């Protein structure tokens, strides 16, 4: 047998080291290859490649970008959930080795990272993209091409992060990645490189999205929509965008310095030359705490829309809702040290951050009271999104209350990093963020696709998911009080932790079943869709419900003038009474400039991906090729002058006519 | 099922549980020392206060959900145009603030109180977390142990925590809360056991592959027995050599070990800015073991 060129064994050993040759990894590899091959085969067989490229991969339409975010987020929810079930299975019994310690450490790291950065964030951006321009009466976001760049940076970063499972090995230092555990001395595999590089990449996209929506909301609202007439989801987006803008830079610095420690021999956080791990912890949570509110404010926005719509009543206390949300945004920057009271910053610092933590509970409480009072005197309709809202109240109130307990500094010395903490943040992140985003997905689904998700199946998914939630996480509070700390891959007999862990694992699998029903709900609702011709299936209150579903590419044929908070609710009554025409007048329709499709965002993402992959393995030629690719794509994009095409008034009139939208 | 019966308080809610009907395994709820006691009291206070808030919200919520359903013949008032209530909205801000004061005041008091060791010359134990084991050095007694700790009961013990490996937290749940063991820093934590007893400790900060093995045992004995134990260790146990220490630095797990002495460099000696109040961002020399 002729000898192989020497780089072949090197490549095999580097890309597929022994620790990614376990059955789970090989199984995942086979599934990924088979899945990819099937998709390519299907696309070729149905001659769909051109369609995919033109309609989706090169689109800059905010509605389509939103849908792509949604699809990616649901896939990532599946992956993160699978990780969670592997963790829970391993913890079901003392000294169980369903997966071994190294694998467990990788899986809890990817679970946390994926759920925060590659599930919750894109799900939030899905709703931002789909809803915000429609809700403020705009034709698109402020920078449509940047918006697509954000998406593709996220998508390629997510792909890169997931690739780590089968190529080179996953990160294994927790989603917080504290040094010095992430330093080469303690962690020599490429896993942590994957973590830093992919988060840096998606972080660029996230920052751009923050800027994009900030400008969109500040500059592109319909005439008459003053700040105090903005729908609350838009307010949530505005506050979230500001949080993103100031929270991501510290993360970027922390990640970049950690990466340099690993690939360029610096010692920002290493031990060798006076590096300071605690600085990383500060930088990380300087981002990490605002991030918590980046995740939860959009959910608050969704709940505010959902509760008003399905109580068939105006939102209670709009000004105090806006005030409390803004207060949360400001205070969110002042609480980060409560993630490490036990790091010896001294009583004065701890007291300051303990009190600021309690302070932030006040505006959150205001929101809960206002939501309940919105229901008071209403007529509640128990649709699937409303059920998620109703499930959120008890969950979030208990999760918030335990958050206050964690803020009581001396008590936190006992709670820190125990399962009490694990239960607390899952309760607010699932009970708040995930319930909220799922409510939003069910609520705005008809606006995205033109048909509702089946309510009956949706309720099944809801009861399994929300019902499984309680047995999963309530026992974990108690496990914390029994002294169980997070991230243990197993535990010995005789600690008394067994029964509660079994309950928690069973609950986890019920939630998993809920996710499967949710996916089947999506697929079956698509197969048996009942098209909604009204564009307003819930009898909504805000602007997005005034246009057809799915919205035409130009959104609004004529941009309305807003004179009320719940403009569409009032407008419907005016139209019924004949005070106003039933739609835009044909003579009011003007030509509209539509941003053109462009391959720049996806190519830029691909170039970043190549460079990032080279950086992960410190193959500098590959990394530099990727960098050159990035500049190449940017230079190419400079020579694209013609960004818009004009839709003539006649075309728009025709479309509106077809949709039966023209007023007399 | 017997263990199930002990979990019944769980069903009664976190409040009742926190109020003290804890099972024998709930180490945090059965403090064996003053620090854990203070912390538990604060937990109870916070849990009860928050429990009242939860109860109030849940009652209001349940009434709203039951009363205002969209059903035919529902005679509850329907007021679709109510926009708010100025007084109520202001009260939402004020009442929670007052309730939180109930927790905030003792939080401030206890945070400052616990930062001081209540003894002039407490027993000092230098704690170093290693991959994946704990090294305990008794500078007063000149002895050292690995993974097992012996302390005198009825008097405060000051632990000085550092790490010669990734971060860990030093936690003996039954005696009190945890504190980080970080490389390049020495952080103080004091704990006390009321009576002689046996406890377990663990790390709360993930530190790598065998993190789960970071358990250690704690034995509180009478001061006389403690002195006798240290004296016998000095006589019978081997001395820790530099080579021994380097063996401890390796990525291994080990059982209990005892040493009659230890090399001085193994614990940082220069403690600029170190105060027993938990001085801010203490500056330390690096451990020469890494050079």
- CB within 8 Å: B177 and A366: no
Please, what sign has the CA dihedral across residues B189, A481, A105, A122?
negative
- CB within 8 Å: A186 and B17: no
Q: Is it true that the peptide bond before A35 is cis, omega within 30 degrees of 0?
A: no
Per-residue confidence (pLDDT) for residue B22, from 0 to 100: 53
| Residue B15 pLDDT greater than 60, yes or no | no
| Residue A174 pLDDT greater than 70, yes or no | yes
| Residue B71 pLDDT greater than 70, yes or no | yes
In a domain, B209, yes or no: yes
| Residue B184 pLDDT greater than 90, yes or no | no
CA distance A374 to B64: 9
Please, what sign has the CA dihedral across residues A210, A212, A215, A219?
negative
Alpha-helix residue ranges (DSSP H) falling in A408-488 = 409-415, 419-428, 435-449, 455-481
CA A337 to chain centre: 24
In a domain, B51, yes or no: yes
How close, in Å, is residue A526 to chain B by CA atoms? 28
Q: Are residues B105 and B136 in the same domain?
A: no
SS3 assignment, position A352: helix
- CB within 8 Å: A372 and B57: yes
**Residue-wise over A96-113: b if at least 16 C-beta within 10 A, else e?**
eebbebbbbbbbbbbbbb
CB atoms within 10 A of CB A527: 6
Q: Are residues B104 and B130 in the same domain?
A: no
Q: Are residues B131 and B221 in the same domain?
A: yes
In a domain, B235, yes or no: yes
CA distance A650 to A1: 72
Per-residue confidence (pLDDT) for residue B270, from 0 to 100: 52
Confidence of residue A25 (pLDDT cuts 50, 70, 90): confident
Q: Which domain holds residue B83?
A: 31-114
pTM: 0.93
In a domain, B2, yes or no: no
User: Of A102, A275, A391, A483, which to mutate for an interface test with B (greatest number of B Cβ within 10 Å)?
Assistant: A483
Which of A376, A375, A377 is CA-nearest to residue A390? A375
In a domain, B17, yes or no: no
Confidence of residue A363 (pLDDT cuts 50, 70, 90): very high
Tell me the CA distances in angstroms from A224 to A136, A236, A250, A563, B122, one per residue in order. Answer: 10, 19, 37, 6, 70
A409 touches chain B (CB under 8 A): yes
* Digit-coded pLDDT (tens) for A148-168: 999 999 999 999 999 998 898
- CB within 8 Å: A496 and B3: yes
Q: Are residues B188 and B216 in the same domain?
A: yes
CA dihedral B9, B15, B21, B27 (to 10 degrees): 100
Instruction: Find residues 203-242 of chain B whose CB sits inside 8 Å of chain A.
Output: 203-212, 215
A340 touches chain B (CB under 8 A): yes
Q: Are residues B249 and B151 in the same domain?
A: yes
Q: Are residues B67 and B136 in the same domain?
A: no
B42 touches chain A (CB under 8 A): yes
Q: How many domains does chain B have?
A: 2
Confidence of residue B274 (pLDDT cuts 50, 70, 90): very low
CA distance B216 to A481: 18
Percent of chain B with pLDDT over 70: 84
CA distance A535 to B149: 70
In a domain, B180, yes or no: yes
Q: Are residues B134 and B258 in the same domain?
A: yes
B32 touches chain A (CB under 8 A): no
Q: Are residues B166 and B65 in the same domain?
A: no
Fold of A48-598+643-658: Cytochrome C Oxidase; Chain A (1.20.210)
B187 touches chain A (CB under 8 A): yes
Q: Are residues B133 and B110 in the same domain?
A: no
Confidence of residue B1 (pLDDT cuts 50, 70, 90): very low
Which of A169, A483, A280 is CA-nearest to residue B214? A483
User: Of B13, B52, B57, which to mutate for an interface test with A (greatest number of A Cβ within 10 Å)?
Assistant: B57
Instruction: Find residues 154-213 of chain A whose CB sits inside 8 Å of chain B.
Output: 173-174, 178-181, 186-187
Provide ipTM, 2 decimals. 0.91
Confidence of residue A1 (pLDDT cuts 50, 70, 90): low
Look up residue A453 and give its DSSP letter.
Answer: P
- CB within 8 Å: B111 and A351: yes
CA A477 to chain centre: 26
SS3 assignment, position A336: helix
Instruction: Find residues 9-28 of chain A whose CB sits inside 8 Å of chain B.
Output: none
User: Of B78, B177, B271, B275, which to mutate for an interface test with A (greatest number of A Cβ within 10 Å)?
Assistant: B177
In a domain, B22, yes or no: no
* Digit-coded pLDDT (tens) for A177-201: 998 899 888 888 899 999 999 999 9
**Residue-wise over A446-456: b if at least 16 C-beta within 10 A, else e?**
bbbbbbbbbbe
A376 closest CB neighbour out of B3, B64, B204: B64
Q: What is the CATH number of the domain that holds B130?
A: 2.60.40.420
In a domain, B237, yes or no: yes
Q: Are residues B133 and B109 in the same domain?
A: no
SS3 assignment, position A325: helix
A81: which 2 tokens? 């959930």
CA distance B18 to B46: 9
Q: Please, how many CA atoms are within 13 Å of residue A61, restricted to the half-sphere of its CB?
A: 19
Per-residue confidence (pLDDT) for residue A166, from 0 to 100: 87
- CB within 8 Å: A358 and B104: yes
């Amino acid at each position: 047998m002729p000898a192989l060129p020497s780089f072949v064994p090197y490549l095999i050993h580097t890309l597929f080291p022994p620790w990614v040759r376990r059955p789970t990894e090989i199984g995942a590899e086979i599934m990924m290859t088979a899945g990819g091959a099937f998709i390519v085969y299907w696309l070729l067989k149905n001659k769909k490649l051109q369609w995919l490229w033109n309609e989706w991969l090169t689109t800059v339409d905010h509605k389509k970008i939103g849908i792509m975010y949604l699809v990616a987020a649901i896939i990532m929810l599946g992956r993160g959930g699978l990780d969670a079930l592997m963790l829970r299975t391993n913890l079901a019994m003392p000294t169980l080795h369903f997966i071994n310690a190294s694998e467990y450490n990788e899986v809890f790291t990817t679970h946390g990272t994926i759920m925060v950065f590659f599930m919750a964030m894109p799900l939030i951006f899905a709703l931002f993209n789909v809803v915000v321009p429609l809700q403020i009466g705009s034709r698109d976001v402020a920078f449509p091409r940047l918006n697509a760049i954000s998406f593709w940076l996220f998508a390629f970063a997510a792909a890169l992060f997931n690739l780590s499972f089968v190529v080179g090995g996953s990160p294994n230092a927790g989603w917080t990645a504290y040094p010095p555990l992430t330093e080469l001395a303690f962690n020599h595999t490429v896993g942590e490189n994957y973590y830093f590089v992919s988060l840096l990449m998606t972080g660029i996209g996230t920052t751009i999205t923050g800027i994009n929506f900030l400008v969109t909301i500040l500059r592109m609202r319909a005439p008459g929509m003053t700040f105090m007439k903005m729908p609350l989801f838009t307010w949530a987006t505005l506050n979230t965008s500001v949080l993103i803008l100031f929270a991501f830079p510290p993360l970027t610095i922390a990640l970049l310095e950690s990466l340099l420690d690993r690939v360029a021999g610096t010692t920002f956080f290493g031990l060798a030359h006076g590096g300071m791990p605690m600085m990383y912890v500060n930088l990380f949570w300087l981002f990490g705490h605002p991030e918590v509110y980046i995740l939860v404010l959009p959910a608050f926005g969704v709940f505010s829309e959902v509760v008003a719509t399905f109580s068939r009543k105006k939102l209670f206390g709009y000004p105090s809702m806006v005030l409390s949300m803004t207060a949360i945004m400001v205070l969110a920057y002042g609480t980060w040290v409560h993630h490490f009271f036990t790091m010896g910053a001294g009583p004065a610092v701890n007291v300051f951050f303990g009190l600021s933590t309690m302070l932030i509970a006040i505006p959150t409480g205001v929101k809960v009271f206002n939501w309940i009072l919105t229901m008071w005197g209403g007529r509640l309709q128990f649709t699937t999104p409303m059920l998620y809202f109703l499930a959120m109240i008890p969950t979030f109130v208990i999760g918030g209350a335990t958050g206050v307990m964690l803020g009581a500094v001396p008590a936190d010395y006992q709670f820190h990093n125990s399962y009490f903490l694990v239960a607390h943040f899952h309760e607010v992140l699932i009970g708040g963020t995930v319930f909220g985003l799922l409510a939003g997905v069910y609520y705005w689904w008809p606006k995205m696709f033109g048909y509702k998700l089946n309510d009956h199946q949706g309720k099944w998914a809801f009861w399994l998911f929300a019902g499984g939630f309680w047995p999963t996480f309530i026992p974990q509070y108690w496990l914390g009080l029994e002294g169980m700390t997070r991230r243990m891959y197993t535990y010995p007999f005789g600690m008394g932790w067994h029964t509660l862990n079994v309950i928690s694992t069973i609950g986890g699998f019920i939630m998993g079943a809920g996710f499967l029903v949710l996916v089947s709900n999506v697929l079956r609702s698509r197969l048996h869709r009942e098209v909604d011709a009204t564009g307003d299936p819930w009898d909504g209150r805000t602007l997005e419900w005034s246009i057809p579903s799915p919205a035409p590419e130009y959104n609004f044929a004529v941009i309305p003038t807003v004179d009320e908070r719940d403009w569409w609710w009032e407008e419907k009554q005016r139209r019924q009474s004949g005070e106003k025409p039933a739609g835009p007048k044909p003579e009011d329709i003007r030509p509209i400039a539509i941003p053109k499709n462009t391959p720049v965002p996806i190519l830029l993402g691909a170039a970043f991906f190549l460079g990032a992959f080279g950086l992960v393995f410190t193959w500098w030629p590959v990394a530099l090729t990727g960098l050159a690719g990035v500049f190449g794509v940017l230079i190419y994009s400079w020579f694209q002058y013609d960004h818009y095409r004009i839709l003539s008034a006649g075309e728009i009139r025709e479309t509106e006519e077809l949709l039966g939208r023209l007023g007399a | 099922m017997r263990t199930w019966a002990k979990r019944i308080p769980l069903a009664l809610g976190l409040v009742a549980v926190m109020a003290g009907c804890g099972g024998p395994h709930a180490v945090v709820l059965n403090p064996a020392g003053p620090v854990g006691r203070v912390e538990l009291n604060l937990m109870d206070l916070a849990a009860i206060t928050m429990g009242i808030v939860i109860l109030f919200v849940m009652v209001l919520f349940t009434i709203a959900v039951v009363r205002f359903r969209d059903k035919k013949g529902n005679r509850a008032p329907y007021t679709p145009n109510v926009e708010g209530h100025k007084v109520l909205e202001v009260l939402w801000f004020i009442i929670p603030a007052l309730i939180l004061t109930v927790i905030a005041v003792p939080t401030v008091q206890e945070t400052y109180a616990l930062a001081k060791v209540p003894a002039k010359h407490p027993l000092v134990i230098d704690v170093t977390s290693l991959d994946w084991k704990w090294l305990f050095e008794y500078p007063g007694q000149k002895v050292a142990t690995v993974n097992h700790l012996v302390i005198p009961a009825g008097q405060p013990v000051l632990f000085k925590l550092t790490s010669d490996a990734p971060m860990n937290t030093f936690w003996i749940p039954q005696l009190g809360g945890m504190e980080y063991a970080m490389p390049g820093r020495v952080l103080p934590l004091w704990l006390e056991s009321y009576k002689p007893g046996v406890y377990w400790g663990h790390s709360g900060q993930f530190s790598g592959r065998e993190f789960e093995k970071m358990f250690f045992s704690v034995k509180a004995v009478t001061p006389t027995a403690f002195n006798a134990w240290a004296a016998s260790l000095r006589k019978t146990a081997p001395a820790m050599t530099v080579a021994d220490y380097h063996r401890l630095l390796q990525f291994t797990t080990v059982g209990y070990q005892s040493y009659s002495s230890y090399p001085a460099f193994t614990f940082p000696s220069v403690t600029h800015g170190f105060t027993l109040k938990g001085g801010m961002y203490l500056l330390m020399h690096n451990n020469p073991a890494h050079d």
